[in-house]
Amino acid sequence: MPARVSEPKPAPTKMVNFLSEVLLDLRVKGRVVSVEVEDASYMVTLDLEDHGERVHLLSAWDVNRSMRGDPAALQAIRADFLRDNGHGSWREERSDAGAR
């Protein structure tokens, strides 16, 4: 019997809107391109001005808790959005550019 491979599914609109609001609260110029459900995580693609597209894997646990008002979970999502996938913080690049 062949193994079942599950395809990522689009996240509910409510989830996309919530993550868009988190991005706006961070005062980051960009937009949420897509949010897909993958097992116990959400694959969030952001299109950030001057930084291109970035993919973030967010814990479903953190996303669900943050939607219910848990400040620690919301902070975890914000911190992930401010990370640059292991290539250095783009927020630091922005600060360096302003110092020049």
Q: Number of folded domains in the chain?
A: 1
3-state secondary structure of 41: strand
40 lies in some domain: yes
Assigned token pair, 68 = 């219910």
Check the CA dihedral 96-97-99-100 and report its sign.
positive
78 lies in some domain: yes
27 lies in some domain: yes
Q: What percent of the chain has pLDDT over 90?
A: 55
Assigned token pair, 17 = 């809107």
3 lies in some domain: no
Q: How many CB atoms sit inside 10 A of residue 47's CB?
A: 14
CA-based nearest residue to 73, from 28, 18, 34: 18
Give the pLDDT score at 66.
96
Using only C-alpha atoms, the chain has a radius of gyration, in whole angstroms, of: 15
Where in the sequence is the domain holding 50, given as residue range(s)?
A: 9-85
pLDDT tens-digit series, residues 10-37? 898 999 999 999 999 998 889 999 999 9
